[in-house]
């Protein structure tokens, strides 16, 4: 449900723009309202799952997600839809880490736990892959509201079955949430995302936009000071002294930026630029998501053999090259000359995410593996927020200077590709372990996505 909600929404964006009479900025906020809430509350969801029990947090998140989906269906304006999307993000931020906490406690045997988490990842991949096709079918048969309606029966059944069958366990020693750090992190990313998203409409030098950028810098400094002085920070800054941890998370931001930022425009290219139906446009984006789903399960195994640096660098090169070639498509480009560009992009990103998470986990002590995993997921989501905001602002800026929408998309794809290729150089040079992870007592309890005992750890052979 959490990942399906990303890709299925992208398929419905052209219909939303038409029926809600909104602009590109409105579409960006429809996507980013959800992604931003997930990004900023994911670590908090893990802490709550530890402290109050995976069952309570999971069912609570499911209830919020289901009710928010109903609110999305009933929304008559962009404003109401944005509020409902934020609620969906809050529910998703509780669902995802709590589901892993339940698996970790429900399968104490290391081998069984690894298999269970593997199946969890498989279902997540299915949700990611079927999103475009399901979204296209539902929008074609009904309208954009149908993409949220399908969550309601799934949520109701899960709540009924989960309330009867899920175990209720909690960690009484779990620390409280780092409220100051959480609030400041939300303000930093939210303020910067607002400035980047609105810059295309209001102008990059508008007083409001410059004020947002300045406020983001001040809030970031304040966040770093608070986290450095906190006894139990949500983001232990000492982890960034480890090169492997820092570089892997920086690269994960780029992955979120390139993947979500460009993916925001894939369906719109086919629907708006080439004039295809919503269903056909959604189906035409499948090479990217299917390539990711196929490659992702093998990426970790390949990285275990050839090293993080080699696999991630190759993946970023492929993804960047695919996006750069997308910058050459236009109104009359036949699909036979487009699908392979999407496939190359999907293969590239599919090769990067698992190894980058593995690199982050392997750079820290065993006790902090769950925390590292949660931070890696959060950085990818933050990159997604900035990708949609920045690339959307680029498209609007190009249009304001007289360029066509198609030319604006070409510039956005080129920007995403160049950023991804630069990141490939970055990882090729520095994605190596600088020092062994310090054996210290963690200052922050891992999120509810711990690395199972006995699970094989990827080693960096670079």
pLDDT value, residue 433: 67
Q: Picking from 46-50, 63-67, 195-199, 379-383, which range would have the lowest pLDDT averaged per residue?
A: 46-50
440, HSE (Cβ side, Cα atoms, 13 Å): 12
Task: Quote the CA–CA distance of 324 and 311 in Å, as a whole number.
Answer: 20
How does pLDDT run across 114-154, given as a tens digit for each residue?
Answer: 678 777 877 877 887 788 888 889 998 899 999 999 999 99
pLDDT at 434: 56
Average pLDDT, integer, range 380-405: 92
Give 82-92 pLDDT, tens digit per residue: 999 999 999 99
Q: How far apart, in Å, are the Cα atoms of 328 and each of 47, 160, 261, 286, 414?
A: 45, 50, 17, 19, 9
> pLDDT, tens digit, for every residue of 398-427?
998 889 999 999 999 999 999 999 999 999
Q: What is the pLDDT of residues 282-303, one digit of tens each?
A: 899 999 999 998 888 888 888 8
| Arithmetic mean of pLDDT, 154-165 | 94
Contact 429, 72 (CB under 8 A): no
Q: Is the pLDDT of residue 388 over 90?
A: yes
DSSP 113-154: HHHHHHHHHHHHHHHHHHHHHHHHHHHHHS-TTHHHHTHHHH
Provide the 10 A C-beta neighbour count for residue 47: 27
Q: How far is CA 356 from CA 44, 170, 352, 398, in A?
A: 22, 29, 6, 33
């Amino acid at each position: 449900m959490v990942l399906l909600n990303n890709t299925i929404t992208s398929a419905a964006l052209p219909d939303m723009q038409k029926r809600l009479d909104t602009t590109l900025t409105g579409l960006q906020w429809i996507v980013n309202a959800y992604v931003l809430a997930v990004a900023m509350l994911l670590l908090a969801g893990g802490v709550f799952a530890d402290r109050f029990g995976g069952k309570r947090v999971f069912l609570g998140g499911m209830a919020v997600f289901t009710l928010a989906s109903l609110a999305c269906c009933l929304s008559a304006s962009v404003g109401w839809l944005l509020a409902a999307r934020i609620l969906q993000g809050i529910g998703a931020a509780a669902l995802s880490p709590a589901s892993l906490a339940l698996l970790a406690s429900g399968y104490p045997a290391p081998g069984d736990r690894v298999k269970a988490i593997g199946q969890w990842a498989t279902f997540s991949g299915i949700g990611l892959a079927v999103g475009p096709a399901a979204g296209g079918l539902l929008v074609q048969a009904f309208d954009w509201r149908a993409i949220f309606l399908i969550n309601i029966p799934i949520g109701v059944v899960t709540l009924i079955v989960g309330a009867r069958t899920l175990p209720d366990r909690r960690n009484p020693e779990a620390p409280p949430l780092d409220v100051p750090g959480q609030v400041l992190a939300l303000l930093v990313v939210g303020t910067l995302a607002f400035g980047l998203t609105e810059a295309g409409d209001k102008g990059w030098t508008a007083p409001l936009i410059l004020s947002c950028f300045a406020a983001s810098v001040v809030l970031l400094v304040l966040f770093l000071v608070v986290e450095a002085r906190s006894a139990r920070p949500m983001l232990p800054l000492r982890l960034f002294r480890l090169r492997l941890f820092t570089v892997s998370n920086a690269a994960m931001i780029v992955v979120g930026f390139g993947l979500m930022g460009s993916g925001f425009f894939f369906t719109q290219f086919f629907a708006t630029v080439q004039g295809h139906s919503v269903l056909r446009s959604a189906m035409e984006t499948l090479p990217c998501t299917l390539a990711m789903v196929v490659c992702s399960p093998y990426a970790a195994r390949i990285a275990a053999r050839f090293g993080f640096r080699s696999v991630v660098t190759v993946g970023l090169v492929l993804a960047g090259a695919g996006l750069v070639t997308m910058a050459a498509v236009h109104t009359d480009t036949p699909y036979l000359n487009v699908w392979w560009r999407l496939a190359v992009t999907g293969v590239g990103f599919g090769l990067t995410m698992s190894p980058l998470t593995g690199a982050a986990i392997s750079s820290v002590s065993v006790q902090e593996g769950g925390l590292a995993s949660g931070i890696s997921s959060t950085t990818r989501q933050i990159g997604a927020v900035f990708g949609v905001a920045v690339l959307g602002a680029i498209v609007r800026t190009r249009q304001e200077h007289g360029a066509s929408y198609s030319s604006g998309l070409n510039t956005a794809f080129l920007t995403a590709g160049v950023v991804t290729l630069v990141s490939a150089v970055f990882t090729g040079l520095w994605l190596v372990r600088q020092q062994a992870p310090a054996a210290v007592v963690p200052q922050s309890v891992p999120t509810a996505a711990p690395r199972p005992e006995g699970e094989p750890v990827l080693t960096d052979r670079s």
